[in-house]
Chains A and B, each alone.
Chain A
Amino acid sequence: MALQRITSPHMHAAQTTQRVMQLLLLATVPGLIALSWHFGWGSLINIAIASVTALVCEASIVALRKRPVWFYLHDCSALVTAVLIGLALPPLVPWWVVVVGTAFAIIIAKHLYGGMGYNPFNPAMVGYVVLLISFPIEMTTWPVAQSILPEGKVLPGLGESLQIVFQFSGTAIDGYTAATPLDSFKHSSGLLVEQFYDQNVWFVNGRWAGAGWEWVNLGFFAGGCFLLYQRVFTWHAPVAMLTTLTIMAWLNYDGGSSGSHGPATLHLLSGATMLGAFFIVTDPVTSAVSNRGRLIYGALTGILIFVIRAWGNYPDAVAFAVLLMNFAAPFIDYYTLPRTYGHDKRNRGTATLDASKQDTAKKD
């Protein structure tokens, strides 16, 4: 047959990969606004630098692989990675940190593994973790929120922020930084939670999870709800993750002793929890494929986040937890195959394959 025929179906739903990515970008807007409102221009600058880097890296790699550049750029997946990195990095971080992280994410974590759809690890999280391990000082220097700055002091404006980011005139970020709420809480040893909350400047102004942070997380939560409504992903993974995180926090919360790991509100609304729950854990490429698998995947991520936050060295743990679960995703898939119509038993990865092999052996 010389001509290739088009097979059925001859209709197609409106959802395309490109549209999914665009919706994702749109959904980050509330969180981004909250971030910018409370922490200044830093995140926007991060996103701008990351986007340019990501597009340049993506285009050059695609060109190196001798594929049409436009076809691969217009699915917006590189932009999504860039925006997620930009959101995850501390505002006002030096520009080269963003460039290194984004380039690593696109070139190594994405394209060296085969590009879109083939990467086993979430590129944004790989980039983030690489930076966290390589440049711990830059990565843990967060600005303080607008609302808790000392009287009369304001966050740097756009020009000053750019100067800080590009390290022009020796303008230092130091004047604006402080440990994050999670970090402060981790080092609050000896104080009862109530005492600590009353003393720490974050919690004096933000009783739930630290000034500014709770709004950022609520912003991402709103964006996530929008994506759920748009059916970009299913509820399974985020809900499972938030549920187990809450349960773990609740189980380990002893009412506020000095050894406590913090109340559930702190864990839910501080750090990268909501960003992780709705934008990272839901990444289809690197998570489990079936809904049951996603429940397990999300639940285990939530547990890991709490475990690392409570007993690990790092104050936040979303990136590590997600990467660890990326490892486990194929394994989860293996054991969560659905029961096919007309079959008595649920598919089991190993069992089915062995059985089919035995069948062929018998035939021989």
Chain B
Amino acid sequence: MTDMSALELLLTAVIALVLLSAIFGAILGFAAIRFKVEGNPLVDQIDALLPQTQCGQCGHPGCRPYAQAIIDEGEAINHCPPGGQATINALANLLDIPAPELDEEHGEEAEVKTVAYIREAECIGCTKCIVACPVDAILGAAKLMHTVIAVECTGCDLCVEPCPVDCIDMLPVPGELADWHWSTPRSSVELLKKPGIIATDRHGDVAA
């Protein structure tokens, strides 16, 4: 082998590498343009996962501002008590980060869904709750009795504090026959740990 051939070898290698990178670069570039994913902006996707109670427990005036803050300010995703762990998991899944526990500084996950209820006899028509409601779910006018549109109420309880006569209660949503459904069966581990439950179960199933 001469020096000449070593140089040739080097040249060939360099040229080959350059060519290869050019070709693959072109392919990648083409693919990036051709198969570009038109995704939703991340804020919209996060907002879609939030429960939309607009309760402000996260420290932001509404769900969308919180979504914005998660993106812009890197706000933690575990500040939403109404959404609870399910929302945190969904957010973590979306953002591809490990799911933290709910930050209890912002409140606890409610066990039952509630709606605001105005004791109408006591309402003095001050409109303070109407101003406070983030989803305009309270109807009424000054000096006239107010009422809550129960189906639109998100249960955020922002209206309770401003009421001067304390006539707003947060009532649990009653369970209805139409809402009833089978619950997920207990796992065998649970059943084995608490055999007593099965016994009462069976007792319950024998006709009364």
Residues of A participating in the B interface, judged by any CB pair closer than 8 Å = 1, 3-7, 67-68, 71, 361, 364
B5 interface residue (CB < 8 Å to A): no
B189 A3 Cβ-Cβ under 8 A = no
C-alpha gap A364/B201 in the complex (Å): 42
A4 B186 Cβ-Cβ under 8 A = yes
Those of B122-172 within 8 Å (CB) of chain A: none
B14 interface residue (CB < 8 Å to A): no
- Chain A positions within 8 Å of B40 at CB level: 361, 364
B197 A364 Cβ-Cβ under 8 A = no
Question: Given contacts A71-B192, A364-B40, is CB(A3)–CB(B48) below 8 Å?
Answer: no
C-alpha gap A5/B204 in the complex (Å): 8
A3 B200 Cβ-Cβ under 8 A = yes
Q: Which of A1, A67, A68, A364 contacts B183 (CB 8 A)?
A: A1
A4 B48 Cβ-Cβ under 8 A = no
C-alpha gap A364/B43 in the complex (Å): 11
C-alpha gap A361/B201 in the complex (Å): 43
B192 A4 Cβ-Cβ under 8 A = no
C-alpha gap A220/B204 in the complex (Å): 49
- Chain B positions within 8 Å of A3 at CB level: 200-201, 204-205
Q: List 11 A-B contacts (CB under 8 A).
A: A1-B180, A3-B200, A3-B204, A4-B183, A4-B197, A4-B201, A5-B201, A6-B201, A7-B185, A67-B192, A364-B48
- Chain B positions within 8 Å of A4 at CB level: 183, 185-186, 197, 201
A68 B192 Cβ-Cβ under 8 A = yes
B45 A6 Cβ-Cβ under 8 A = no
- Chain B positions within 8 Å of A68 at CB level: 192
Task: Write the B26-59 contact mask toward A (1 if CB under 8 angstroms, else 0).
Answer: 0000000000000110001100100000000000
B24 interface residue (CB < 8 Å to A): no
Chain B: interface size category:
10 to 19
C-alpha gap A68/B44 in the complex (Å): 48
B186 A364 Cβ-Cβ under 8 A = no
- Chain B positions within 8 Å of A71 at CB level: 192
- Chain A positions within 8 Å of B192 at CB level: 67-68, 71
- Chain B positions within 8 Å of A364 at CB level: 40, 44-45, 48
- Chain A positions within 8 Å of B205 at CB level: 3, 5-6
- Chain A positions within 8 Å of B39 at CB level: 361
A106 CB to closest chain B CB, in angstroms?
Answer: 20
C-alpha gap A279/B186 in the complex (Å): 33
Q: Which residue of B lies closest to A4 (CB)?
A: B201
- Chain B positions within 8 Å of A6 at CB level: 201, 205
Closest 10 CB pairs of A and B: A3-B204, A364-B48, A68-B192, A4-B201, A3-B201, A6-B205, A364-B40, A7-B182, A71-B192, A364-B45
- Chain A positions within 8 Å of B201 at CB level: 3-6
Q: Which of B44, B45, B189 contacts A67 (CB 8 A)?
A: B189
B36 CB to closest chain A CB, in angstroms?
Answer: 15
